[in-house]
Amino acid sequence: MTNSVKISPSILSADFANLGHDVRTLDAAGADYIHIDVMDGHFVPNISIGPGVVKALRPHSAKPFDVHLMISPVDSYLEDFAKAGADIITVHPEAGAHTHRTVQAIKALGKKAGLALNPGTPIDAVDYLIDDLDLILVMSVNPGFGGQSFIDSQLRKIEALRKRIDASGLDIDLEVDGGINIDTAPLAISAGANVLVAGTATFKGGEAAYGANMRALRGES
């Protein structure tokens, strides 16, 4: 049986002067998605990538672009990211006053919708939204930076969400983001995550190691 765990490498750890090259290399090395962290210096204390960069990267890979928006307000930028080539657009419920409307707007743009839960955000944030979600993202660090340590309490949140997703019968990715490495990946997988975001752990050792790093995170030797 093929391993169903997917790896979504975060290009926050890439060489920003060579992003196209890094995305091509990740694609060839077996990335399942490409995780693009968008930060505005307001919702989170860091500034990263905008829709122009997403558009520029689009020709470099056919893999789904997993765009994680850490921006507020978010609604006015959804169309820009959709047009730039995002496949999955994930938002935080704290990033707008009307999360249901935001999720509907993503779906209306023909994109998959994700909801990201910060470490302090309870799982009931998915109530009344779950039927429209394609992905639920559990933040296992506070958003803003790569290279932080995994917050263990989020394993209980992953377990609870896995039960909710399975009970729903819906096809929803359960993604975990932050501090994923060779030690924490098996814990997240056991708790029920099926997509692992990994920045530091994918890029460790340089591009010759990307493939082996991602396979190790999936638990494949």
- Contacting residue, 85, 93, 96, 146, with ligand DX5 by CB under 6 A: 146
- Contacting residue, 5, 12, 31, 165, with ligand DX5 by CB under 6 A: 12
Q: How far apart (Å, rounded) are the C-alpha atoms in residues 116 and 130? A: 12
Run of H or E residues at 39:
strand 34-39
Q: Where in 94-123 is the site for ligand DX5 (CB under 6 A)?
A: none
Nearest distance from residue 164's CB to ligand DX5, in Å?
22
- Contacting residue, 6, 22, 32, 37, with Zn ion by CB under 5 A: 37
By C-alpha distance, which of 175, 125, 177, 173 is closest to 151?
177
Q: How far apart (Å, rounded) are the C-alpha atoms in residues 150 and 172? A: 23
> Are 217 and 202 spatial neighbours (Cβ–Cβ below 8 Å)?
yes
Active site residue 134: no
- Contacting residue, 32, 66, 175, 177, with Zn ion by CB under 5 A: 177
Neighbours of 167 (CB within 10 A): 9
Q: Does 72 bind ligand DX5 (CB under 6 A)?
A: no
By C-alpha distance, which of 115, 57, 117, 119 is closest to 85?
57
Six-digit token string for 171 = 């096809």
Q: Which of 22, 37, 66, 87 is catalytic?
A: 37
- Contacting residue, 198, 214, 216, 217, with ligand DX5 by CB under 6 A: 198
Active site residue 166: no
> Are 125 and 115 spatial neighbours (Cβ–Cβ below 8 Å)?
yes
Nearest distance from residue 75's CB to ligand DX5, in Å?
20
Burial class (CB in 10 A: 0-12, 13-18, 19+), 205: exposed
Neighbours of 33 (CB within 10 A): 23
Q: Does 37 bind ligand DX5 (CB under 6 A)?
A: yes
Choices 1-9, 33-41, 80-88, 184-192; region in contact with Zn ion by CB under 5 A: 33-41
Q: Does 87 bind Zn ion (CB under 5 A)?
A: no
Q: Does 9 bind ligand DX5 (CB under 6 A)?
A: no
- Contact positions vs Zn ion (CB under 5 A): 37, 68, 177
- Residues annotated catalytic, as ranges: 37, 177
Residues that bind ligand DX5 (CB under 6 A): 10, 12-13, 35, 37, 68, 141, 143-144, 146-148, 177-180, 197-201
